[in-house]
Amino acid sequence: MAELYVERKRKSPVLWILLALIVLAVVGYLVWANRDKLQNNKTTTTEQTTTTTTGTPTGQ
């Protein structure tokens, strides 16, 4: 009886590349869609932390 040599086929990396591109696209979309919210949060926190003092100086 003859022996049959079976060689495993190499899996193509196209599936992994396609999956990585889809994940990058989803992450990019989420960042792009929320960029206004991120910028608004930064401006409101800086506006709240800045204070101005007016009037006569204390300690005199």
pLDDT, average across residues 4-20: 90
Of 6-10, 29-33, 49-53, the range with the lowest mean pLDDT is: 49-53
| pLDDT of 48 strictly over 70 | no
Q: Show the tokens assigned to 33.
A: 């869609």
Distance of CA 9 to the CA centre of its chain: 36
51, amino acid identity: T
The predicted structure's pLDDT at residue 42: 66
| pLDDT of 18 strictly over 90 | yes
Q: Show the tokens assigned to 45.
A: 């926190």
| Residue with the larger pLDDT of the pair 35 and 30 | 30
pTM of the predicted model over 0.85: no
d(CA 21, CA 54): 55
Helices (H), the chain: 14-33, 35-49
The predicted structure's pLDDT at residue 1: 75
